[in-house]
Protein backbone atom coordinates (compact mmCIF):
# COMPACT_ATOMS: atom_id res chain seq x y z
CA UNK A 1 0.00 0.00 0.00
CA UNK A 2 1.03 3.60 -0.58
CA UNK A 3 1.12 5.97 2.40
CA UNK A 4 -2.20 7.55 1.41
CA UNK A 5 -3.82 4.10 1.32
CA UNK A 6 -2.46 3.29 4.79
CA UNK A 7 -3.94 6.51 6.17
CA UNK A 8 -7.32 5.60 4.71
CA UNK A 9 -6.91 2.09 6.10
CA UNK A 10 -6.43 3.37 9.66
CA UNK A 11 -9.22 5.92 9.33
CA UNK A 12 -11.64 3.16 8.39
CA UNK A 13 -10.46 0.97 11.26
CA UNK A 14 -10.95 3.78 13.76
CA UNK A 15 -14.61 3.89 12.75
CA UNK A 16 -15.07 0.10 12.94
CA UNK A 17 -14.99 -2.41 15.77
CA UNK A 18 -12.05 -4.48 14.56
CA UNK A 19 -11.41 -7.68 16.51
CA UNK A 20 -8.12 -9.49 17.10
CA UNK A 21 -7.39 -12.29 14.65
CA UNK A 22 -8.82 -15.75 15.32
CA UNK A 23 -5.35 -17.29 15.15
CA UNK A 24 -4.07 -14.94 17.83
CA UNK A 25 -7.05 -15.67 20.07
CA UNK A 26 -6.38 -19.40 19.75
CA UNK A 27 -2.69 -18.91 20.56
CA UNK A 28 -3.51 -16.78 23.61
CA UNK A 29 -5.82 -19.50 24.89
CA UNK A 30 -3.15 -22.16 24.47
CA UNK A 31 -0.48 -20.03 26.11
CA UNK A 32 -2.65 -19.07 29.06
CA UNK A 33 -3.66 -22.69 29.62
CA UNK A 34 -0.06 -23.89 29.40
CA UNK A 35 1.65 -21.42 31.72
CA UNK A 36 1.25 -22.71 35.26
CA UNK A 37 1.93 -20.71 37.35
CA UNK A 38 1.51 -17.59 35.18
CA UNK A 39 4.80 -16.28 33.87
CA UNK A 40 5.93 -13.07 32.23
CA UNK A 41 5.12 -13.55 28.57
CA UNK A 42 7.16 -11.88 25.83
CA UNK A 43 5.46 -11.47 22.45
CA UNK A 44 6.32 -10.01 19.06
CA UNK A 45 3.60 -8.54 16.83
CA UNK A 46 4.92 -8.45 13.27
CA UNK A 47 3.25 -6.00 10.91
CA UNK A 48 1.25 -4.69 13.86
CA UNK A 49 -0.78 -2.37 11.62
CA UNK A 50 -3.84 -0.99 13.41
CA UNK A 51 -2.69 -2.41 16.74
CA UNK A 52 -5.77 -4.53 17.44
CA UNK A 53 -3.71 -7.67 17.99
CA UNK A 54 -1.11 -5.70 19.97
CA UNK A 55 -3.85 -4.39 22.27
CA UNK A 56 -5.27 -7.90 22.77
CA UNK A 57 -1.89 -9.18 23.94
CA UNK A 58 -1.32 -6.20 26.20
CA UNK A 59 -4.72 -6.79 27.78
CA UNK A 60 -3.55 -10.30 28.64
CA UNK A 61 -0.58 -8.82 30.48
CA UNK A 62 1.97 -9.74 27.81
CA UNK A 63 5.05 -7.63 27.09
CA UNK A 64 4.85 -6.80 23.38
CA UNK A 65 7.34 -5.65 20.75
CA UNK A 66 5.20 -4.21 17.93
CA UNK A 67 6.94 -3.92 14.55
CA UNK A 68 5.74 -2.19 11.39
CA UNK A 69 7.35 -0.38 8.46
CA UNK A 70 4.63 2.29 8.36
CA UNK A 71 5.08 5.28 10.71
CA UNK A 72 1.30 5.80 10.62
CA UNK A 73 0.81 2.34 12.12
CA UNK A 74 2.97 3.10 15.14
CA UNK A 75 1.47 6.57 15.51
CA UNK A 76 -1.99 5.00 15.47
CA UNK A 77 -1.02 2.60 18.27
CA UNK A 78 0.49 5.41 20.35
CA UNK A 79 -2.66 7.48 19.85
CA UNK A 80 -5.10 4.73 20.88
CA UNK A 81 -3.09 2.85 23.53
CA UNK A 82 -4.37 3.05 27.09
CA UNK A 83 -1.67 4.68 29.28
CA UNK A 84 -1.63 1.70 31.67
CA UNK A 85 -0.07 -0.45 28.93
CA UNK A 86 2.78 1.88 27.99
CA UNK A 87 5.29 0.10 30.23
CA UNK A 88 4.65 -3.24 28.51
CA UNK A 89 4.95 -2.03 24.92
CA UNK A 90 7.96 -1.38 22.71
CA UNK A 91 7.63 -0.32 19.09
CA UNK A 92 10.06 -0.68 16.21
CA UNK A 93 9.81 1.03 12.82
CA UNK A 94 11.32 -1.35 10.27
CA UNK A 95 10.50 -3.35 7.14
CA UNK A 96 10.88 -7.10 7.59
CA UNK A 97 13.84 -7.31 5.22
CA UNK A 98 15.89 -4.95 7.41
CA UNK A 99 15.47 -6.94 10.62
CA UNK A 100 18.54 -8.93 11.65
CA UNK A 101 17.36 -10.05 15.07
CA UNK A 102 14.24 -10.69 17.12
CA UNK A 103 14.15 -11.13 20.88
CA UNK A 104 13.58 -14.58 22.37
CA UNK A 105 9.85 -14.83 22.89
CA UNK A 106 6.83 -16.90 23.84
CA UNK A 107 4.77 -15.84 20.84
CA UNK A 108 5.33 -14.42 17.38
CA UNK A 109 2.09 -13.08 15.94
CA UNK A 110 1.98 -12.32 12.22
CA UNK A 111 -1.58 -11.55 11.16
CA UNK A 112 -1.89 -11.14 7.37
CA UNK A 113 1.55 -9.54 7.09
CA UNK A 114 4.11 -12.18 6.07
CA UNK A 115 2.95 -12.23 2.42
CA UNK A 116 4.23 -8.64 2.19
CA UNK A 117 7.79 -9.76 2.85
CA UNK A 118 9.61 -9.73 -0.53
CA UNK A 119 10.28 -13.26 -1.82
CA UNK A 120 14.08 -12.82 -1.85
CA UNK A 121 14.01 -12.01 1.86
CA UNK A 122 11.40 -14.46 3.08
CA UNK A 123 13.61 -17.50 3.80
CA UNK A 124 16.12 -15.66 6.05
CA UNK A 125 13.32 -13.75 7.73
CA UNK A 126 11.41 -16.96 8.44
CA UNK A 127 14.58 -18.48 9.90
CA UNK A 128 14.86 -15.44 12.18
CA UNK A 129 11.24 -15.90 13.31
CA UNK A 130 11.62 -19.62 13.94
CA UNK A 131 14.84 -19.21 15.91
CA UNK A 132 13.39 -16.47 18.11
CA UNK A 133 10.52 -18.62 19.41
CA UNK A 134 11.43 -20.45 22.59
CA UNK A 135 10.92 -24.24 22.75
CA UNK A 136 7.33 -25.07 23.62
CA UNK A 137 6.13 -21.60 22.61
CA UNK A 138 3.95 -20.40 19.76
CA UNK A 139 3.52 -18.84 16.33
CA UNK A 140 0.20 -17.47 15.09
CA UNK A 141 -0.41 -15.98 11.69
CA UNK A 142 -1.35 -16.25 8.04
CA UNK A 143 0.10 -17.09 4.63
CA UNK A 144 -1.42 -16.37 1.22
CA UNK A 145 -1.91 -19.18 -1.27
CA UNK A 146 -1.31 -19.22 -5.06
CA UNK A 147 -5.01 -18.71 -5.85
CA UNK A 148 -5.10 -15.38 -4.03
CA UNK A 149 -6.05 -12.34 -6.13
CA UNK A 150 -2.73 -10.69 -5.38
CA UNK A 151 -0.59 -13.67 -6.40
CA UNK A 152 0.64 -11.89 -9.56
CA UNK A 153 2.43 -9.33 -7.38
CA UNK A 154 6.10 -10.30 -7.64
CA UNK A 155 6.99 -8.23 -4.56
CA UNK A 156 4.83 -10.45 -2.33
CA UNK A 157 5.36 -14.02 -1.11
CA UNK A 158 2.84 -16.81 -1.65
CA UNK A 159 2.89 -20.45 -0.51
CA UNK A 160 1.25 -23.71 -1.45
CA UNK A 161 -0.19 -25.82 1.35
CA UNK A 162 2.84 -28.12 1.19
CA UNK A 163 5.21 -25.14 1.39
CA UNK A 164 3.44 -23.79 4.48
CA UNK A 165 3.61 -27.19 6.15
CA UNK A 166 7.32 -27.39 5.34
CA UNK A 167 7.94 -24.11 7.15
CA UNK A 168 6.74 -25.74 10.35
CA UNK A 169 9.15 -28.62 10.56
CA UNK A 170 10.15 -28.64 14.20
CA UNK A 171 6.70 -27.40 15.23
CA UNK A 172 3.42 -29.10 16.11
CA UNK A 173 0.46 -27.59 14.27
CA UNK A 174 -2.15 -26.69 16.87
CA UNK A 175 -4.50 -25.17 14.29
CA UNK A 176 -4.35 -25.20 10.50
CA UNK A 177 -7.13 -24.04 8.19
CA UNK A 178 -7.15 -23.21 4.50
CA UNK A 179 -9.80 -20.79 3.21
CA UNK A 180 -10.48 -19.75 -0.38
CA UNK A 181 -13.35 -17.34 -0.91
CA UNK A 182 -14.47 -14.06 -2.37
CA UNK A 183 -14.41 -11.11 -0.03
CA UNK A 184 -13.32 -7.52 0.31
CA UNK A 185 -10.27 -5.64 1.48
CA UNK A 186 -10.55 -3.21 4.40
CA UNK A 187 -10.95 -0.44 1.80
CA UNK A 188 -13.98 -2.22 0.34
CA UNK A 189 -12.40 -3.55 -2.86
CA UNK A 190 -13.40 -6.99 -4.13
CA UNK A 191 -10.75 -9.65 -3.59
CA UNK A 192 -10.40 -13.43 -3.73
CA UNK A 193 -8.72 -14.57 -0.53
CA UNK A 194 -6.67 -17.76 -0.46
CA UNK A 195 -5.30 -17.94 3.05
CA UNK A 196 -3.68 -20.45 5.38
CA UNK A 197 -4.47 -19.77 9.06
CA UNK A 198 -1.85 -21.25 11.40
CA UNK A 199 -1.16 -21.68 15.09
CA UNK A 200 1.90 -23.81 15.83
CA UNK A 201 3.88 -24.81 18.90
CA UNK A 202 7.64 -25.13 18.63
CA UNK A 203 8.81 -28.56 19.71
CA UNK A 204 10.38 -28.74 23.15
CA UNK A 205 14.04 -29.64 23.51
CA UNK A 206 14.45 -33.16 24.91
CA UNK A 207 16.56 -33.24 28.03
Span 40-88, pLDDT tens digits = 899 999 999 989 999 999 999 999 999 999 999 999 898 888 889 989 9
Q: For residues 51 and 79, is the Cβ–Cβ distance under 8 A? A: no
pLDDT at 18 (0 to 100): 79
Domains in the chain, please, with CATH?
Answer: 3-202 (3.40.50.150)
Angle at 21 between CA 34 and CA 102, to 5 degrees: 65
End-to-end CA distance of the chain: 47
Q: Give the H or E element holding residue 107.
A: strand 105-110
| Distance in angstroms (rounded) separating the CA atoms of residues 15 and 31 | 31
Query: Residue 206, class by beta-carbon neighbours within 10 Å (0-12 exposed, 13-18 middle, 19+ buried)?
Result: exposed
**Predicted confidence pLDDT, tens digits, the chain (207 residues):** 444 444 555 555 454 457 899 999 999 999 988 876 557 899 999 999 989 999 999 999 999 999 999 999 999 898 888 889 989 999 999 999 999 999 999 999 999 999 999 999 999 999 999 999 999 999 999 999 999 999 999 999 999 999 999 999 999 999 999 999 999 987 789 999 999 999 999 998 765
pTM for this one?
0.91
Neighbours of 197 (CB within 10 A): 19
Amino acid sequence: MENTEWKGHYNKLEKSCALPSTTLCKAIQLINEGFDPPQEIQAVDLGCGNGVDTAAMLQEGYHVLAIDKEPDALRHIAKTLAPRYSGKLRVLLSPFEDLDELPANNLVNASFCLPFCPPDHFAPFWSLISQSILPGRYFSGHFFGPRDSWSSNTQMTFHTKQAVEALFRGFQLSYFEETAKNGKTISGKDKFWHVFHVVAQKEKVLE
